[in-house]
Amino acid sequence: MRAWPPITEPELLARLALEPEAFRDWLQGLAAMIGAREYAPEHLERALGYPWGRPPGSYLLRDGVTTTLASLEPAVRTSLVESYTAGRHPIVTIGSNGSPQTLRIKFGHFPEAADRDALVLTGELHDLDVGAVPTVTLYGSMPAALFESPGTAVRVCVVWVTDAQATQLTWSELGYHLARIDGARFEVDDADAVVDDVFAYVARLGAYCPGEGGPVALAAVPATGRTAPALTQEDLLDHVAPSLVGPGARAEDVVRRVFEDPVGGVARAREVLWSQGRVLPEGRVTLLPTG
């Protein structure tokens, strides 16, 4: 079994160890700490664009430059993949962490060149799908969440990270646990390769299940064999807007509120949305030990 990334920072481990209600209180406190911000139309555009753009295939991020693996000679590609997968940790990315823009922001400050670089392999994760967390982030999107879906193969990435990068990503994934996906099978594109032992960030609030139904999938994340209905980010925000803001509200009203009244927005989401999540069951995931 693959060793856990060495997450050792006490404050981070304490956050990961929070019990559900304490974690929800922490989220509300975070909204108060952020405070009100001025809303602008570009905030709606960014919220609706989640999980944001990425190359269509596997790529290397090095020195801030993105190089697709398909553009490399086969021998160079093989050598590069072997070097990056030998001593790094494979973390499934189901949302923005597959975007070069996001990785530049999260890794660009590291002094060591290796900690600024990342290999991102695209492929299919089997018997799982990607839905939405039953909340709205402080940038206005309903972020991604894994849920069980037998027979589905969902398009995701695996980013191979250093120890420092694993800690950085875990700090930044505020609403998630770092977990091992038990029994996962990730098939790499354009290669006779399967990664069976992967980590992922699993949503602490689970995957959004409207009403009495099952989870809904994110339409922006392709899949084959999908059985869940797929909604765009705008569909999702339009759907939750009346309960979060009021009758007749739409996606823009939700995004505007989380900017102008984050405390009230998070409190309302806690009241009407947070209970509508389905978490991955025990036996499907093993959470990072926090001591």
Q: Is residue 3 part of a domain?
A: no
* DSSP string over 130-158: EEE-SS--TTS---EEEEEEEEEEEEEEE
In angstroms, rounded to a whole number, what is the distance separating the alpha carbons of residues 150 and 225? 9
Instruction: Note down the domain range covering 217.
Output: 10-287
- Residue 19: C-alpha distances to residues 24, 51, 180, 205, 273 (Å): 9, 28, 19, 12, 18
Count other Cβ atoms within 10 Å, centred on residue 43. 18
Q: Is residue 106 part of a domain?
A: yes
Q: Is residue 135 part of a domain?
A: yes
Look at residue 193 in the predicted model and tell me its pLDDT. Answer: 67
Q: Is residue 127 part of a domain?
A: yes
Is the pLDDT at 197 greater than 90? The verdict is: no
Q: In this predicted model, what pLDDT tens digit does every residue of 84-108 receive, in sequence order?
A: 998 899 999 987 898 899 999 999 9
H-state helical runs in 18-98: 20-34, 41-49, 74-86
Nearest to 121 by CA among 85, 86, 151: 85
- The domain that holds 278 is classified in CATH as 3.10.490.10
Look at residue 212 in the predicted model and tell me its pLDDT. Answer: 79
Q: Is residue 128 part of a domain?
A: yes
Q: In this predicted model, what pLDDT tens digit does every residue of 28-75 receive, in sequence order?
A: 999 999 999 999 999 999 999 998 877 789 999 999 899 999 999 989
Residues contacting residue 27 through CB under 8 Å, at least 6 positions apart: 135, 174, 175, 266, 270
The one-letter amino acid at 237: L
Lowest-confidence pick of 53-57, 201-205, 217-221: 53-57
DSSP letter at 276 equals G
Q: Is residue 1 part of a domain?
A: no
Q: Is residue 150 part of a domain?
A: yes
Q: Is residue 102 part of a domain?
A: yes
Look at residue 213 in the predicted model and tell me its pLDDT. Answer: 85
Can you give the pTM of this predicted structure? 0.93
Look at residue 56 in the predicted model and tell me its pLDDT. Answer: 81
Report the first-to-last Cα separation within the chain, whole angstroms: 19
Q: In this predicted model, what pLDDT tens digit does every residue of 144-185 receive, in sequence order?
A: 999 999 999 999 999 999 999 999 999 999 999 999 998 888
The one-letter amino acid at 42: E
Confidence at 186, pLDDT banded by 50, 70, 90: very high
**Total number of domains constituting the chain:** 1
